[in-house]
Amino acid sequence: AYNFCAGPATLPESVLRQARDEMLDWRGTGMSVMEMSHRSDEFVQIAETAEKDLRELAGVSDDYAVLFMQGGASSQFSTIPLNLLGDKGSADYVNTGIWSKKAIAEASRYGQVNVVASSEDSGFTTIPDQAAWKTSAEAAYLHYTPNETIGGLEFDFVPDSPNVPLVADMSSNMLSRPVDVSRFGLIYAGAQKNIGPSGLVVVIIRKDLLGKARKETPTMMNYQVIADNDSMYNTPATYSWYLAGLVFKWLKEQGGVQAMGEINLRKARKLYDFIDNSDFYANPIDPRFRSWMNVPFTLADDALNSEFLRGANACGLLNLAGHRSVGGMRASIYNAMPEAGVDALIDYMTDFAKERG
């Protein structure tokens, strides 16, 4: 089966096989990774290797701390303002869809949020031109969502932010293509798309941004505390961390983010080209900003949606229903979705349109 779920999403099969093989006895220790002390030499080795591999894959320099935190990406919506708002008290946010809006709503509880650009008027089908953003040099940071998982809208550029730290929610496109980390103050990503199991959230933060948390910040949300304790202030999500490490190893074997970016572009182009050349399927997003990871599409007649999904399921093409807030279909084609999965989807869509179109 090919699983097109937006998250938790499909993981590389070889990673799952390795996890299965190591489940009861990790490398002759007689223990599952799940049963190890997080302070043991074995687990510390697993944790450090995962961090090292992630640094290598994403090109993260020593100027940045890499944190393995919990609570998913959503917890970062409040963790970020609590840590970074500081004395300035205001932050700039770009609104490009449902996930931006959630980040904005949460940050608004802690300080003044200035929505400096929004594509809501277009139904979130495009990215506002950066030349028109009303950013402020007084903001504590500038937040944006490089890939809107629900809308299928993705930035094809990194915004310029010479005066204030750039903060990015890369939950659904982390490690999908090369990115210059040095352009960012903070990057965060819920793990359940391109990294591993849900609940884990990876944070890459420039070290000069540590130590600025408000007094009332919960200890578990204080980046400085988490960094000082190598993400082990409390018991970390050990098994998720281990699985993330296996995914990073797999990604290195595939040739890293450069190779992955080429494969992802090819997969996405194939699917969008097919949709554009069909008069039965449609995608509303400005072609320049179509997501490489999440491809929403509609059928010519919504009344056929259930039949489309039933038929897809029967062929092993799983979880193609669009997000409950937008309807239609969505194929999430993250790193671990093989190109053959996209080919199988296109074959099914072709047959369905022939029969029903």
Q: Which residues make up the interface to ligand PLP (CB under 6 A)?
A: 7, 72-74, 99, 145, 149, 169, 171-172, 190, 198
Q: Is 192 annotated as a binding residue?
A: yes
Residue 76 CB, nearest distance to ligand PLP (Å)? 8
Nearer to ligand PLP, 198 or 350 (CB): 198
Nearer to ligand PLP, 198 or 305 (CB): 198
Task: Give the other-Cβ count within 10 Å of 269's Cβ.
Answer: 13
Q: Which residue has the tokens 């409390």?
A: 234
| CA-to-CA separations, 264 to 42, 136, 342, in angstroms, rounded | 34, 35, 11
**Residues 77, 70: Cα–Cα separation, whole Å:** 13
Nearer to ligand PLP, 151 or 328 (CB): 151
Q: Is 235 annotated as a binding residue?
A: yes
* Largest CA-CA distance found in the chain, in angstroms, rounded: 63
Which structure tokens are listed for 224?
């400085």
Residue 27 CB, nearest distance to ligand PLP (Å)? 30
Positions marked active-site: 99, 169, 193
Nearer to ligand PLP, 10 or 145 (CB): 145
For 52, counting Cβ atoms within 10 Å of its Cβ (0-12 exposed, 13-18 middle, 19+ buried), the class is middle
Q: Which residue has the tokens 């935190």?
A: 69
Nearer to ligand PLP, 165 or 190 (CB): 190
Residue 77 CB, nearest distance to ligand PLP (Å)? 8
Q: Is 240 annotated as a binding residue?
A: no
Q: Is 292 annotated as a binding residue?
A: no
Which residue's CB comes closest to ligand PLP?
A: 72
Q: Is 26 annotated as a binding residue?
A: no
Q: Is the dihedral of CA 81, 83, 88, 89 positive or negative?
A: positive
**Residues 273, 228: Cα–Cα separation, whole Å:** 48
Residue 144 CB, nearest distance to ligand PLP (Å)? 11
Nearer to ligand PLP, 57 or 73 (CB): 73
Identify the bridge partners of residue 206 per DSSP, sorted by sequence position: 64
H or E segment to which residue 113 belongs: strand 112-118
- Interacting residues of 186 by C-beta distance below 8 A, sequence separation 6+: 80, 84, 141, 165, 166, 167, 168, 203, 204, 205, 206, 209
- Taking alpha carbons only, the member of 274, 296, 293 closest to residue 283 is 296
Residue 179 CB, nearest distance to ligand PLP (Å)? 15
Q: Is the dihedral of CA 6, 293, 259, 342 positive or negative?
A: positive
Sequence ranges of the binding site for pyridoxal 5'-phosphate: 73-74, 99, 149, 169, 192, 234-235
Question: Residues annotated as binding site for L-glutamate?
Answer: 39
Binding site, residues? 39, 73-74, 99, 149, 169, 192, 234-235
